[in-house]
């Protein structure tokens, strides 16, 4: 018996990385999964590979009609929507505030923040009809603290997602609809390759390289993996989390917990040596 038996779930950005792993694990946990993305060939291949109870729909979360069609179509086909995982994302312009390209920045915000807003907007009426539902938004530790992203635009958009999560949770909670977020840390996906200019499969292929480098970024000595986030999404989508609302679940191996112990001890020793030398 799966934790999501009988539930209908929508996962945006499901053709790679965290989204793809979540599609796979949601299916194993018994959900009917409708997943979306902009890459139609990859989406069709995934649907064919996974088979039963997995359906792909091409959709761009920055286009309102696409989001509405995805959500309304799922509700019409299966009679309900129990879970929405607003996962779709992507890179944002890097560099100084003085040099950032405004148009590209707003395009990124349209995906990173706008896609989440539109998902909540259009799924809420369907969940209100049955007076239940779980909305999960993909945040980031970069939304909590500056300096954890290659892009200040990305960081700012994710901060907005966290606040939108809390705000929507306070409204929709009155209809027994839970709205929570997950903030991944250094997770090995293709997003780092995309941030540095790679596209499509070439970016996805950098995930293993990223994993080797990111393993040193937090106290737990490994990189975060897509399944770490997917399993958290299972929990937030399941009835096990029925009294959790307006919460953000940070999954980062302790990265934002504070200064790393070993590095701190090394600086203390250096400070002590400097004092002794002065005396």
Active-site annotation, residues: 154
CA distance 212 to 223: 7
Structure tokens at 104: 């590209």
Indicate the Cα dihedral angle 187, 193, 197, 202, nearest 10°: -140
What angle (nearest 5°) sits at the alpha carbon of residue 196, between those of residues 156 and 190? 85
CA distance 160 to 180: 13
Structure tokens at 161: 């997602």
Pick the closest to residue 240 from 252, 232, 250, 248 (CA basis): 232
Q: 85, 133 in Cβ contact below 8 A?
A: no
Q: What per-residue string of b and e applies to 46-81 under the rule 16 or more CB within 10 Å gives b?
A: bbeebeeebbbbbbbbbeeebbbbbbeebbeebebb
């Amino acid at each position: 018996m799966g934790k999501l038996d009988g539930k209908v779930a929508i996962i945006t950005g499901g053709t790679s990385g965290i989204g793809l792993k979540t599609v796979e694990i949601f299916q194993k946990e018994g959900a009917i999964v409708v997943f979306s993305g902009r890459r139609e060939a990859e989406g069709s291949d995934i649907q064919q590979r996974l088979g039963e109870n997995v359906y792909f729909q091409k959709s761009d979360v920055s286009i309102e009609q696409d989001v509405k069609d995805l959500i309304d179509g799922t509700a019409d086909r299966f009679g309900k929507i129990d879970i929405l995982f607003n996962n779709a994302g992507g890179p944002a312009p890097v560099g100084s505030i003085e040099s950032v390209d405004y148009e590209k920045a707003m395009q990124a915000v349209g995906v990173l923040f706008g896609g989440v807003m539109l998902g909540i907007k259009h799924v809420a009426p369907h969940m209100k009809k049955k007076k239940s539902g779980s909305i999960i938004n993909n945040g980031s530790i970069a939304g909590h603290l500056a300096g954890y992203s290659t892009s200040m635009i990305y960081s700012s958009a994710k901060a907005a997602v966290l606040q939108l999560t809390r705000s929507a949770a306070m409204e929709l909670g009155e209809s027994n609809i839970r709205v929570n977020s997950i903030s991944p840390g250094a997770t090995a996906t293709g997003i780092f390759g995309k941030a540095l200019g790679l596209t499509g499969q070439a970016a996805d292929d950098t995930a293993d390289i990223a994993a080797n480098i990111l393993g040193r970024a937090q106290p737990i000595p490994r990189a975060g993996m897509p399944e770490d986030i997917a399993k958290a999404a299972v929990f937030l989508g399941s009835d096990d989390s029925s009294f959790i609302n307006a919460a953000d679940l940070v999954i980062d191996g302790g990265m934002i917990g504070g200064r790393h112990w070993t590095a701190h001890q090394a600086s203390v020793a250096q400070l002590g040596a400097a004092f002794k030398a002065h005396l």
